[in-house]
Amino acid sequence: MIFTLLIAFFSLIFLVVVHELGHFILAKKFGAEVEEFGIGYPPRFLGKRIGKTLYSLNILPFGAFVKIRGEEGGVEDYRSFAGKPMWQRMSIVLGGVVSFWLIAAVLLSIVAGGWGLPTAVSDEENENLKDPRIQITQIIPDSPAQEADFRAGDIIIGFEKIGDISNFISENKGKEIVLKIKRGQDVFEKKVTPRMTYSQDDGPVGFIITRIALRPYSWAEAPFQGISATFTLTGNIIKGWVLGVKSLLGISQLPEGVKMEMMGPVGILDLLGQYSKMGLNSFLFLVALIAIALALANSLPIPALDGGKILFLMIEVIRKKSVNQKIEQRLTAGFFILLILFVIFVTIKFDIPRIF
């Protein structure tokens, strides 16, 4: 248990370090003086100065940071962040966001070449596939599946082809059947009675299923597949967020069987711990997915995030002068506190009830 938690914890730290490394590399490339690159937060445990940069290992193991000369204003010489051309400053800020996508592409490339990427396949496709399974992708409203609390994402165990489960259901219309379900790491049985009458689109049970398998690629193809999967997952996360916002605003409803749940650091740690027991490929896939989600979240135009810093730089471009440093610092500090409070709220409201 402790070992699993350590793996999960250091995986998150790894992502944060890679993020800060993106800022660090571009700052160095453009000649901005990096005063400190730290893993963890002070008080300092170890430190070594190489050139003008102090590399530190700190006691509070909750992330990493890069301190660039003049990033918070007050210094505008050629070695400072503020003294660099606008495109270089934006590049330095965006370096952290891009690093999340890059590490996701690398991890997905490793998964593609080593095990294979999950892909929707037909019953006829069997060559060069691993671990075929039947997954529920949608629940029809007011159906037996909804009443039995089947959910989108559930895996139906015991069937490798859609035709097999369709025949089994058709042969037992009007009779109670038992399906073995895998939801996350939990495996359990659910009883449901297929309907005698139904529309062609709804089916007797009322769920839509897809056959999914791992499709491995050669190591020559894997990088291209990793990049493609990164773009696809980025689009899927954005669509999910848009759908969630519309649901909150009452503009539209979530599909049946889909539940919107937020997840904070504790929930992410727990999920990483669960996936670490499911095999290295599943674990690396989840880490890549988290990296993409962090890239998108960090791109939001909110002070205290990289997207907020880009927003201030864009305002500077429009106004032809920088935002007052005191105003920027106060907004950043204020939103940072709000983000911390939001994380605490999500942890108490969603993470703790889900885990315990």
Q: How does pLDDT run across 158-216, given as a tens digit for each residue? A: 988 899 999 999 999 999 999 999 987 789 999 999 998 877 777 899 888 999 999 99
| pLDDT at 94 exceeding the cut of 90 | yes
At residue 20, the pLDDT reads 96
CATH code where residue 174 lies: 2.30.42.10
- 60-64, 76-80, 151-155, range with the lowest pLDDT: 76-80
pLDDT digits (tens, 9 = 90+) for 29-49: 999 999 999 999 889 999 999
Model pTM score: 0.87
| pLDDT at 96 exceeding the cut of 70 | yes
Adjacency order of strands within the sheet including 155-157: 117-120, 207-215, 130-139, 155-157, 177-183, 186-192
* 199-236 as b/e: b if 16+ CB within 10 A: eeebbbbbbbbebbbbbbbeeeebbebbbebbeebbee
pLDDT tier at 228 (50, 70, 90 boundaries)?
A: very high
Average pLDDT (208-237) is 94
At residue 245, the pLDDT reads 82
pLDDT tier at 258 (50, 70, 90 boundaries)?
A: low
Average pLDDT (324-334) is 90
Mark whether 20 is an active-site residue: yes
Residue 67 included in any domain: no
Residue 189 included in any domain: yes
Yes or no: say if 25 and 32 are a contact pair by the CB < 8 Å rule: no
Average pLDDT (5-32) is 92
pLDDT digits (tens, 9 = 90+) for 261-315: 778 888 888 888 888 877 889 899 999 999 999 999 999 999 989 999 999 999 9
| pLDDT at 51 exceeding the cut of 60 | yes
pLDDT tier at 112 (50, 70, 90 boundaries)?
A: very high
pLDDT tier at 254 (50, 70, 90 boundaries)?
A: low
What are phi and psi for residue 325, nearest 5 degrees? -60, -35
pLDDT winner (highest mean) among 19-23, 169-173, 253-257: 19-23
Residue 3 included in any domain: no
Average pLDDT (335-354) is 88
Residue 341 included in any domain: no
Yes or no: say if 190 and 182 are a contact pair by the CB < 8 Å rule: no
At residue 256, the pLDDT reads 56
Yes or no: say if 22 and 99 are a contact pair by the CB < 8 Å rule: yes
Yes or no: say if 21 and 99 are a contact pair by the CB < 8 Å rule: yes
| pLDDT at 259 exceeding the cut of 70 | no
Residue 294 included in any domain: no
| pLDDT at 257 exceeding the cut of 60 | no
Average pLDDT (68-74) is 80
| pLDDT at 103 exceeding the cut of 60 | yes
Average pLDDT (220-246) is 92
Average pLDDT (120-132) is 88
317: buried, middle or exposed (CB in 10 Å: 19+, 13-18, 0-12)? exposed
Percent of the chain with pLDDT over 90: 56
Q: Which range of residues forms the domain containing residue 168? A: 120-215
Write the DSSP symbol of residue 255.
Answer: P
Number of domains comprising the chain: 1
Mean pLDDT of all residues belonging to the chain: 89
Average pLDDT (119-131) is 88
Average pLDDT (222-239) is 95
At residue 243, the pLDDT reads 83
Average pLDDT (240-269) is 76
At residue 288, the pLDDT reads 96
Residue 196 included in any domain: yes
Residue 202 included in any domain: yes
At residue 349, the pLDDT reads 86
Residue 158 included in any domain: yes
